[in-house]
A and B are shown apart, each in its own frame.
Chain A
Amino acid sequence: DGGITQSPKYLFRKEGQNVTLSCEQNLNHDAMYWYRQDPGQGLRLIYYSQIVNDFQKGDIAEGYSVSREKKESFPLTVTSAQKNPTAFYLCASGTGYTDTQYFGPGTRLTVL
């Protein structure tokens, strides 16, 4: 899983609560990404950031928010507006150029 850490590994949330997933990288990468993976599915892009203090919506940004105050950190908040938040969330980083992405181990979020 390289130099990217995600915490916690498992997260449980009650309906109506916001929850924040942590993602930290020590690879000195400019770009960071958040993906959602549902069972038996590929990855869908939620948000991405190519530089500090800037980020863009991906394909499924509704109900999520992010911040990028530091180069090494890109936390994702799953808000109560997200209708079906139970999923596996993966964070990745890269140089931001056309190159590979390095993934963290993931956080499995379950809404009770």
Chain B
Amino acid sequence: SQQGEEDPQALSIQEGENATMNCSYKTSINNLQWYRQNSGRGLVHLILIRSNEREKHSGRLRVTLDTSKKSSSLLITASRAADTASYFCATDAGGTSYGKLTFGQGTILTVHP
């Protein structure tokens, strides 16, 4: 089952603008991860935020997590054409689901030069 739901499904912006993608989930989690996928390729891990963290940064990426609302957001600042890709959130419920990720349906980001 797809735990994560992402919003928007597609996002089109100009280079230099910021891009924000949102992810909502249904059950409690141990951590939430964001991955990137270029067309026809495998996924690349971007950032992991644990359930006891509220915000995390990595370069131009900023991730927030609100466990009370069961939601997360990924912000890409000063976007570049090379950021064009699909972005997926994935949740790890922990417990007996140890190491098992459930992916959202993704946001397709297009950055125009």
Residues of A in contact with B (beta carbons under 8 Å apart) = 1, 4, 31, 33, 35, 40-45, 48, 50, 58-59, 88, 90, 92, 94-106, 108
Q: How many angstroms from the CA of A11 to the CA of B102 in the assembled complex?
A: 26
Partner of B33, one of A35, A41, A100: A100
Report chain B residues within 8 Å CB of A35: 103
Task: Return the chain B residue nearest A4 by Cβ.
Answer: B42
Q: Which residue of chain A has its CB nearest to the CB of B92? A: A98
- Residue numbers of B with Cβ under 8 A of A are 1-2, 4, 30-31, 33, 35, 40-45, 48, 88, 90, 92, 94, 98-106
CB <8 Å contact, A101 and B41: no
User: CA A102 – CA B99 in complex, angstroms?
Assistant: 12
Is B42 touching A50 in the complex (CB atoms < 8 A)?
A: no
Find A98's partner among B4, B94, B103, B105 (CB 8 Å cutoff): B94
* A105 interface neighbour in B33, B41, B100, B103, Cβ under 8 Å: B41
Chain B residue, CB-CB nearest to A90: B42
Using CB atoms, name the residue of chain B closest to A106.
Answer: B42
